[in-house]
Amino acid sequence: MREPPVTLADETLRACLRDRYGLAATEVTFLPLGYDASAWVYRVRAADGATYFLKARLSLANEAGLLVPRYLRDHGVARVVAPLPTRTGELWTDAGNAVLILYPFVAGTAARDCGMTAEQWVAYGALLRQVHDTAITPDLARVLRRDAFLPEWAAMVRRLDVHIGTRTFDDPTERLLADFWRQRRGEIRTLVDRAEALGRRLADAAPAQVLCHADIHTANVLVDTAGQVWFVDWDETLLAPRERDLMFVVGGISSTLVGPQDEARFFEGYGATAVDPVALAYYRYSWAVGDIGSFGEQVFFRADCGPAAKREAAELLMGVFSPGEIVALAFASEEAAG
């Protein structure tokens, strides 16, 4: 269960909503959603009865994560949840030591939790194809990251490996995860090495890059109360080979999230396309490294994470090694990559 930030009071949020957005909030409710330890979300009810979705972040690491959904929404990609502007037209604002982003509230359930019908899987594919086919303006291209095929969490995993290998731990969660890490050290090091090797191979091939959501697993696919499919949470968006997004459907990042029939329905909407097995393998390895690095960081290096958040992060890290989860899927992709 996620915990609200101790440094960001509800009164601060209400004042910011009033002063920056002209919004009189009568209720601000923390929602324990997501696994990003640098972000927190709230449901906001306004005096006029309207409902909003508010995200607070420690920092704005990827400006394109706000500009891209706003651009898509303004250019005809209708079922994208895009940030709302402040009184002065910005898509975010500061609130003390955090960044706030306000969104319209779309009533619905994450597809991961409610499942999708055949028609909704087709709609998911069609909507993702719209995103991938979107032409990027020069202004947007200037703020969009371009994938350099370097697994960004590799350095953190190596730092964790050194940290765990040279210390003993009194904290029970740290001790639990350190013991698990030592048992899996060989696999963890192999994951990092293979991610980097596949990244170099992909960089040499220089594949075409398209606009990608980059985190479009079914937890970020929202099914509204009318059964329509929406894309949410664009924090990771970048220019990359389409396999960056297709990874979440072609085999998925967990065997529990997508099946062969779901994949077939998705491509009915997306359209026929050749999938590069090397790119697919790279993104699976990189995702596994990212999960290990980010969850491990929360346990050992994030002083702002409380005991419950640390315990959840440890359980999530250990869980990626379970059968049918991303580590097993990454190793299984090796043969197809050649």
Give the mean pLDDT of 254-274: 94
| Other residues' Cβ atoms within 10 Å of the Cβ of residue 278 | 19
Separation CA 213–CA 127 (nearest Å): 11
Separation CA 154–CA 304 (nearest Å): 22
Relative to beta strand 221-224, strand 108-110 is antiparallel
pLDDT of residue 1: 41
pLDDT confidence band for 336 (50 / 70 / 90) = low
Mean pLDDT value across the chain: 93
Give the mean pLDDT of 129-146: 94
pLDDT-above-90 percentage for the chain: 83
pLDDT confidence band for 156 (50 / 70 / 90) = very high
The residue count for the chain: 338
User: In the block, which residue shows the tokens 């990771």?
Assistant: 236
Domains present along the chain, CATH in parentheses: 10-105 (3.30.200.20), 114-337 (1.10.510.10)
Q: Which amino acid is at 85?
A: P
Q: Which amino acid is at 337?
A: A
Q: Which residues lie closer than 8 Å to 24 by C-beta, 6 or more apart?
A: 17, 18, 46, 47, 48
| Other residues' Cβ atoms within 10 Å of the Cβ of residue 146 | 9
pLDDT digits (tens, 9 = 90+) for 82-115: 999 999 999 999 887 889 999 999 999 999 999 9
pLDDT confidence band for 9 (50 / 70 / 90) = confident
